[in-house]
C-alpha cells in the first residue's frame, strides 16, 4: 500500500530479465517486452511455459463450488475455450480464477503465437524458476534444537519487543506463502488441514518445510507463548503453510501466483498473509496480490538488493490492505541490504532475528524476509501504528517503524 497512495521474494529475492507479454489495443498482436537484469540472482526461464491472463473476469463463475472443485471446473472451461489450439490438461500447470483469471501452461511456438493474437487474452508472461541464494538469506547463526524437549526456555526476540508484540493471537489466522512450515513444530499452531503445496514432483502434496525459511517467518508471526522457543508477535495464532518454494528455496512465478490465489479463495476478513519472497516486476503476480487483499491483509518483504522496491514483485504491489516492509537493526538504523522507496509502508526489525526453524529448532537470520512477518503479526492484532522513524533511509524519506 504506500500509506496515502493507492495504486513477487524470499529476502532470498531473485532477479534477472523477465519476458513480459502485454495486451495491445486495436486487436494487434500482443507485444513482447523484456526487462533488464536487476541483480546477480539466479533466475531461469522455464522453457515453453507461460502465464496467460485473460481479459474476462472469471471470479463469478462456478462460485458456489469449493476451491478444489472450482479449480477443476475452471481448467475444463479453459480447455474448452482454447480447444482450437489443442491445449491439453497435462500442459496446464496452474489454474487461476480468483484474483487473476487464466492459467500457466506449456505451449509450443504455434500455440503461443495463436494466443498472442487472441483478443480474449490480456497478457502473457514467460514463467521463471526462482532460486534462493542461501548466502543472502542465512546471514547469521546456525540451526539449533531438534524438538520440543531440546528447545531452550522461551525468549522474547528483540524484534518482537520493538514492535510491541508478544500479545495473544489466538483465534487469528496467518497465511505463510513460502517454503512451507514445520507442521509438527512444538512452538507453532499449524493449521495442517488447510496447508497446501503448489510444487510439482515429490513435493506436490507436501506443505512441510524442507528449507527452514518459512518456519522462521511463521515463528515471528505467531510462535506460541508456551515456555519454550520464542514468542511471536501474535502469539498462538494459526499459521497456514502455502508452500510455493522447495527445500532448496526454488519455485516458479506460476506457483507463487497459485499460492496467492489459494489465499484469495480461502482467506477471511481479519486474516493476514506474509510474502517474504520475490523477483522482477510481474503484473500477473501484483494483480493477484491486489485482488486477494480485498479480504486478507498482506505483508510483503521489500527485498534485499539495496534497490528501489518498485523494481520488484510483489514488493511493488500497492493497495489499501498491502504493506511493503523494509528492514532495520536493533538501533533503528536502516539495514544496508534493504530495498527502499515509495512502495515501502513500514520499517521493521530484520537483522539478527531469532525465530523457529525446521526440525523443531531455532535459528538467527537476517533480511527483509524477517521484517515482513513482524508486520504480518501486527496486522492480526489490529491497525499497524508507528513508533518513531528509521534512520539512514537511502531514499531520504524515513520509513515509520511498525508498532502495535
The pLDDT value given to residue 43: 76
Angle (CA) 56-54-98 rounded to 5° is 75
Q: What is the CATH number of the domain that holds 232?
A: 3.40.50.200
State how far Cα 298 lies from the chain centre.
9
Q: Are residues 140 and 127 in the same domain?
A: no
Q: Distance between CA atoms of 108 and 278, rounded to whole angstroms?
A: 27
Find out whether 16 and 38 touch, Cβ atoms under 8 Å. Answer: yes
State how far Cα 327 lies from the chain centre.
17
Q: Single out the catalytic residue among 185, 213, 216, 312.
A: 213
Is 312 a catalytic site residue?
Answer: no
Q: Are residues 163 and 272 in the same domain?
A: yes
Is 69 within a domain? yes
Is 5 within a domain? no
The pLDDT value given to residue 274: 98
> Residue 360: CA atoms inside 13 Å, Cβ hemisphere, count?
11
Q: Distance between CA atoms of 144 and 324, rounded to whole angstroms?
A: 30
Q: Are residues 229 and 321 in the same domain?
A: yes
Phi, psi of 161 (to 5 degrees): -65, -40
184 conformational bin, left if phi > 0, alpha if psi -120 to 50, beta if neither: alpha
Domain final residue pick, 131, 152, 187: 131
Q: Are residues 193 and 297 in the same domain?
A: yes
Q: Distance between CA atoms of 124 and 21, rounded to whole angstroms?
A: 5
Q: Are residues 205 and 84 in the same domain?
A: no
The pLDDT value given to residue 196: 99
> Residue 137: CA atoms inside 13 Å, Cβ hemisphere, count?
28
Q: Are residues 265 and 398 in the same domain?
A: yes
Find out whether 35 and 376 touch, Cβ atoms under 8 Å. Answer: no
Is 192 within a domain? yes
Q: Distance between CA atoms of 145 and 166, rounded to whole angstroms?
A: 22
Is 14 within a domain? no
Give me the residue label for grid cell 510439482: 200
> Residue 351: CA atoms inside 13 Å, Cβ hemisphere, count?
14
Q: Are residues 179 and 274 in the same domain?
A: yes
Q: Are residues 118 and 172 in the same domain?
A: no
Which parts of the chain register pLDDT below 50? Answer: 3-26, 32-40, 135-142, 145-149
Is 10 within a domain? no
Q: pTM here?
A: 0.91
Q: Distance between CA atoms of 199 and 201, rounded to whole angstroms?
A: 7
Domain final residue pick, 110, 131, 152: 131
Q: Are residues 73 and 138 in the same domain?
A: no
Residue 129: helix, strand or coil by DSSP? Answer: strand
Q: Are residues 162 and 274 in the same domain?
A: yes
Q: Are residues 178 and 117 in the same domain?
A: no
CA distances from 171 to 133, 168, 224, 241, 375 (A): 35, 9, 12, 17, 18
Is 216 a catalytic site residue?
Answer: no
Number of domains in the chain: 2
Domain final residue pick, 131, 163, 181: 131
Is 4 within a domain? no
Sign of the Cα torsion 209, 214, 216, 222 reads negative
The parent domain of residue 153 ranges over: 134-403
Phi, psi of 121 (to 5 degrees): -95, 130
Is 325 within a domain? yes
Q: Distance between CA atoms of 125 and 313, rounded to whole angstroms?
A: 14
Is 332 a catalytic site residue?
Answer: no
Q: Single out the catalytic residue among 13, 101, 123, 178.
A: 178
Q: Single out the catalytic residue among 123, 264, 369, 403.
A: 369
DSSP 137-201: H--S---B--STTTSPBPB--HHHHHTT--EE-TT-EEEEEES-B-TT-TT-EE-TTT-EE---G
Q: Distance between CA atoms of 182 and 180, rounded to whole angstroms?
A: 7
Q: Are residues 268 and 141 in the same domain?
A: yes
Amino acid at each position: 500500500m504506500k500509506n496515502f497512495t493507492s495504486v513477487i521474494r524470499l529476502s532470498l529475492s531473485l532477479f534477472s530479465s523477465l519476458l513480459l507479454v502485454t495486451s495491445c489495443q486495436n486487436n494487434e498482436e500482443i507485444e513482447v517486452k523484456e526487462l533488464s537484469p536487476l541483480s546477480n540472482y539466479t533466475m531461469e526461464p522455464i522453457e515453453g511455459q507461460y502465464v496467460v491472463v485473460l481479459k474476462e473476469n472469471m471470479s463469478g463463475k462456478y462460485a458456489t463450488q469449493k476451491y478444489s472443485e472450482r479449480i477443476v471446473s475452471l481448467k475444463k472451461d479453459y480447455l474448452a475455450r482454447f480447444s482450437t489450439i489443442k491445449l491439453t490438461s497435462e500442459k496446464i500447470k496452474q489454474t487461476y480464477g480468483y484474483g487473476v483469471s487464466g492459467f500457466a501452461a506449456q505451449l509450443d511456438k504455434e500455440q503461443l503465437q495463436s494466443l498472442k493474437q487472441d483478443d480474449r487474452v490480456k497478457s502473457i508472461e514467460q514463467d521463471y524458476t526462482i532460486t534462493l541464494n542461501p548466502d543472502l538469506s542465512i546471514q547469521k547463526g546456525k540451526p539449533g534444537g531438534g524438538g520440543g524437549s531440546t528447545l531452550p526456555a522461551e525468549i522474547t526476540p528483540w524484534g518482537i519487543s520493538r514492535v510491541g508484540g508478544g500479545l495473544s493471537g489466538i483465534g487469528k489466522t496467518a497465511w505463510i506463502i513460502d517454503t512451507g512450515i514445520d507442521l509438527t513444530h512444538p512452538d507453532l499452531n499449524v493449521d495442517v488441514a488447510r496447508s497446501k503445496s503448489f510444487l510439482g514432483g515429490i513435493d506436490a502434496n507436501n506443505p512441510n518445510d524442507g528449507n527452514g525459511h518459512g518456519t522462521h517467518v511463521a515463528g515471528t508471526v505467531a510462535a506460541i507463548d508456551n515456555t519454550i522457543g520464542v514468542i511471536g508477535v501474535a502469539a498462538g495464532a494459526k499459521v497456514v503453510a502455502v508452500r510455493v518454494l522447495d527445500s532448496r528455496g526454488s519455485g516458479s512465478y506460476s506457483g507463487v501466483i497459485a499460492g496467492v490465489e489459494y489465499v484469495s479463495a480461502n482467506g477471511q476478513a481479519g486474516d493476514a498473509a506474509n510474502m517474504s519472497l520475490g523477483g522482477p516486476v510481474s503484473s500477473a503476480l501484483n494483480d493477484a496480490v491486489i485482488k486477494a487483499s480485498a479480504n486478507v491483509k498482506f505483508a510483503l518483504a521489500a527485498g534485499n538488493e539495496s534497490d528501489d522496491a518498485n523494481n520488484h514483485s510483489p514488493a511493488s504491489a500497492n493497495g489499501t490492505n498491502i504493506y511493503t516492509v523494509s528492514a532495520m537493526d536493533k538501533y533503528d538504523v536502516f539495514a544496508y541490504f534493504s530495498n527502499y522507496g515509495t512502495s515501502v509502508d513500514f520499517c521493521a526489525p530484520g537483522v539478527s532475528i531469532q525465530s523457529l526453524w525446521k526440525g523443531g529448532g531455532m535459528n538467527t537470520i537476517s533480511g527483509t524476509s524477517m521484517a515482513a512477518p513482524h508486520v504480518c503479526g501486527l496486522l492480526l492484532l489490529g491497525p499497524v501504528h508507528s513508533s518513531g522513524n528509521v534512520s539512514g533511509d537511502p531514499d531520504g524519506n524515513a520509513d515509520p517503524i511498525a508498532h502495535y
